[in-house]
Chains A and B, each alone.
Chain A
Amino acid sequence: MDRRRKPKLAVWKFSSCSGCQLALLNLEDELLQVAGAVDIAYFPEASRAVAKGPYDLSLVEGSITTPHDVERIKDVRRESKYLVAVGACATAGGIQALRNFKDVNEFVSTVYASPEYIETLAKSTPIADHVLVDFELRGCPINKRQLLEVLSAFLHGRRPNTPPHSVCVECKQVGNTCVMVAQGIPCLGPVTHAGCGALCPAYNRGCYGCFGPMETPNPEALSEQWGRLGVGEEEIVRAYRGFNANAEAFRKEGEAREKQDAQS
């Protein structure tokens, strides 16, 4: 083993469900190897022991939803040599970005008994909207194999292999049958970023788009096809308003179909 100082890893949480941090803990078989390769310096979900920054690699989970978040992410950036945003919240704004399509003050006054104590932003936004992000790992939640790949790549100074093509390529590589062609099931796979290993189609379900838009998505053409399969505009809007509702391609298609739905 090389005798250099072990790189310091920090894991940060913003507005999120902690599921992506759990992907790291779920590594089980590899966790000891991870602990051997890096110094887990800050990871409140796993340990109360905290080592001070700066950190070599920061994994950031969650979206920015409060004025406090806006300041805190800047601190995280200052303390981090590399900052990797992990999961749909950190890379697109997450499910909580559904607020972006409504008036957040209405939610606040409906949900909280004393709304005057609530300080929140009108929109839930990804980390890259606020600070420089070195790499984005997609998914809701992220795939633990891909997380391991990103960690390995950063440790060895190479580019992570996390292909941005469609889920379809993964489906064909693992030998799944296309659920849309063979069963007429609406599937977001053709417009969705690979990485999950084509999980849902393997169980005869259409893709839910958990990994957000693929590199060059064409949601308009896919929606036309969904229409031919009998899916209504309202349902199409709902399909794009998932964990990646605020990702540009999904947001635009949702908005376009909403307009059409309102006109019809």
Chain B
Amino acid sequence: MPGPALEPGTQVVMESSDLQKFIDVLWRKGYHVVGPTVRNGVVVYDELKSVTDLPAGWTDEQEGATYRLKKTDGKAFFAYGIGPDSLKKFLHPPVVRLWRARREGAGFQTVEETEEPPKYAFLGVRACDLHAVAAHDRVFTSEEYADPSYARRRRDIFVVAVNCAKAGNTCFCVSMRTGPKATVGFDLALTEILEGERHYFVVEVGSETGAAVLREIPFKEATAAEKSAAERVIAATAGQMRKALDTTNIRELLYDNPEHPFWDEVAERCLTCGNCTMVCPTCFCTAVEDVTDLAGETAERRRHWDSCFTEDFSYLHGGSVRASAKARYRQWMTHKLAAWLDQFGTLGCVGCGRCITWCPVGIDITEQARALRDKGRIERPSVTVGEHASP
């Protein structure tokens, strides 16, 4: 098709009425399309076949420990803030079987996992979650510690990002430099625009794979007016954002105050339930368990999500080294905002705010960081890490 050269960075326009065609093309190309849909009173990611499954006419209100869906009169498909699900559910699933073993005579035979995960296309991914995927890439695909299970799932994904048109009350991507505009890790990025009767998407090309999909649906070059409409949406979202986490010398702040009484205060409220780590799109810790059948004929090793808030997580010979809630909360926050820098060169927090919304008692990492900054002292000289401390 003659038309604009679809180089990365090119912006085109797709009418909202062509969104179904777009989804169909992805299925036709062999992708298992996953997108946002309303289930059980929240927006989750699940299989997406039809535009009618998208959360059109829904938005949400979030606060610490509170999430409520609200009906709107609007037609927008993506006028909601992020729900509890991130891509972690698909790329780093809660339970993975690593291998099996079968008894044979006096010995045993191992059976390799050959299951091929679906080739996923994700629709509606927000900028913060793309940074989370980038963080997982660093964790799981480093040369020394590559994880084949993650690599298999991650390799062929197709990502359609959506730039946030609304700031949630608990998210703080602006201060983490991770949003609200998608800048990395997408094949196509959409900005949804409603202007009077017109409903369209400004689509930014992120990769050649993205361009190839685009060529199969109707689109036209974006005008200057359309491009600036998209910019206004993103700027408005950034302007709405209420929460912020000041990352200046955050690593030194955490490393220099491990015994500060501040930690006792947060420990009084912390349930050590682990919800924050489960909904966190970057938390990646797992445990393995071995299971045998009654007859002792087969055994298997499973890997499942674990949390630094459980006692078993830090169990060494003789007991858990982080027996108290204080030690666990400190571990979690210090890892996210300090040790992660040493380990992976970025912060472990993308500012999505899920840990705030889904904490049953509403503990707020931005407030905790602020409280520590107000009360704690930085003793060591500050060191700049990387250019920017965002994942």
Contact = CB atoms under 8 A, between A and B. Distances in A.
B207 interface: no
A149 B295 contact: no
Interface string A211-236: 00011111011101100000000000
Contacts of B44: 175, 177
A76 to B, nearest CB: 23
Contacts of B317: none
A225 to B, nearest CB: 5
Interface in A166-217: 166, 168-169, 172-178, 180-184, 187, 189-191, 204, 214-217
B274 A169 contact: yes
A191 B309 CA distance: 13
Size class of the A contact interface (CB-based, 8 Å): 35 or more
Contacts of A181: 65-67, 357-358, 360
Nearest to B66: A181
Contact of B271 (A156, A161, A182, A221): A221
A176 B83 CA distance: 12
A191 B278 contact: no
A132 interface: no
B84 A177 contact: yes
A37 B358 contact: no
A37 B361 CA distance: 46
A181 B83 CA distance: 11
A146 to B, nearest CB: 12
B94 to A, nearest CB: 4
A178 B84 contact: yes
Interface string B310-337: 1110000000000111000000000000
B271 A222 contact: yes
A33 interface: yes
B294 A152 contact: yes
Contacts of A169: 273-274, 278, 305, 307, 310
Contacts of B40: 176-177, 182, 204
Which of A174, A180, A187, A216 has most B Cβ within 10 Å? A216
Nearest to A221: B269
Which of B272, B291, B361 has most A Cβ within 10 Å? B272
Contacts of B311: 164-165, 215-216
B212 to A, nearest CB: 33
A249 B175 CA distance: 40
Interface string B270-293: 111111001100000000011111
A168 B294 contact: no
A121 interface: no
B195 to A, nearest CB: 33
A225 B65 contact: yes
A217 B309 CA distance: 11
Contacts of A165: 273-274, 307, 309-312
A223 to B, nearest CB: 10
A5 interface: no
Contact of B272 (A183, A187, A218): A218
Contacts of A1: 295
Which of B89, B323, B358 has most A Cβ within 10 Å? B358
A34 interface: yes
Given A182-B69, A204-B40, A218-B270, 12 more contacts: A151-B294, A155-B296, A164-B310, A166-B274, A178-B67, A182-B41, A182-B42, A190-B275, A190-B360, A214-B273, A220-B268, A221-B361
Top 10 nearest A-B pairs by Cβ distance? Answer: A172-B278, A190-B273, A166-B273, A173-B94, A168-B273, A177-B40, A190-B271, A165-B310, A37-B294, A215-B311
Interface of B: 39-42, 44, 65-69, 84, 89, 94-95, 268-275, 278-279, 289-296, 304-305, 307, 309-312, 323-325, 357-358, 360-362
15 contacts: A149-B291, A153-B292, A161-B291, A165-B274, A165-B309, A165-B312, A168-B275, A169-B274, A169-B307, A172-B274, A172-B275, A172-B305, A173-B95, A178-B358, A222-B360
